Amino acid sequence: MARIICLANSYKPGGRCIAGIDLDTGDWIRPVPNTPEQAITPSMRLINGNEPRILDIVEIPLEDYGPDNGCQPENRLLKPGKWRKVGRITAQELLDYCEDDTVILHNHEEYVSPEFFSTHPRSEWRSTQLIHNTEVRFNPAYDPKNWRAWFRDGRGRTLDLPLTDPVMSDILRNGEKVGRDCILMISLGTPWKPKDGDQSLCYKIAAGVVEL
């Protein structure tokens, strides 16, 4: 059983992707089921009929291991059992968990090449990072139902990432104003090749947003 601060409950084909920080160890954890899609379905994640929310503290039955998919060392396999909400933290408390954003997930690009992981020891891999940024902007994507998060990292490099946070996406689609001072949970997906691409890449996404 792990107690995590839920920092992402994001869109994923077939369900959701959940990720957070273990309160006892400080390590990142991404629970994954033993299914081809590795998507968390409602029957797995709902707590008394409710979605786990960002900032909730959730107890999740987990194994000590999981499939890393060649780039995601945080993955832990789900065990049978119910999830429980055992608390909640504030946005201000979450600031203590934010990291330096000089480099976000290995480089200054919006993706990481799979070759990076094949040429670096697993101890240097990561696919989750929590940052605080005061100049975040949210813009519609090519599909008006989808949104993107635009910001600059600590070196001033621009990142324009897909937003997969369902709650923030609904807020934006409803036309509500969102401030620029936000905590972002950045996640790295498994290798994927766009229709017009010539190689598979691991793309960064804004999987969770907390407005300050």
**Residue pLDDT, tens place only, 157-189:** 999 999 999 999 999 999 999 999 999 999 999
Is the pLDDT at 144 greater than 70? The verdict is no
H helices present in the chain, as ranges: 42-45, 91-94, 114-119, 166-173
Q: What is the pLDDT of residue 195?
A: 81
Q: Are 184 and 156 in contact (CB under 8 A)?
A: no
Q: Is the alpha carbon torsion for 35, 38, 41, 47 positive or negative?
A: positive
**Residue that has been written with the tokens 């077939």 in this structure:** 14
Q: Are 18 and 33 in contact (CB under 8 A)?
A: no
192: β partners: 201
**Residue 124 gets which letter from DSSP?**
G
Query: For residues 99 and 175, what is the distance between their CA atoms, to the nearest angstrom?
Result: 30
134: β partners: none
Query: For residues 106 and 21, what is the distance between their CA atoms, to the nearest angstrom?
Result: 19
Share of residues in the chain with pLDDT > 70 (%)? 100
Q: What is the pLDDT of residue 62?
A: 98
Query: For residues 63 and 65, what is the distance between their CA atoms, to the nearest angstrom?
Result: 5
pLDDT band at residue 105, thresholds of 50, 70 and 90? Answer: very high
Question: Token pair for residue 204?
Answer: 């960064």
Phi-psi label, residue 70: left if phi above 0, alpha if psi -120 to 50, beta otherwise: left
pLDDT band at residue 197, thresholds of 50, 70 and 90? Answer: confident
Using one digit for the tens of pLDDT, what is the confidence trace for 57-95? 999 999 999 999 999 999 999 999 999 999 999 999 999
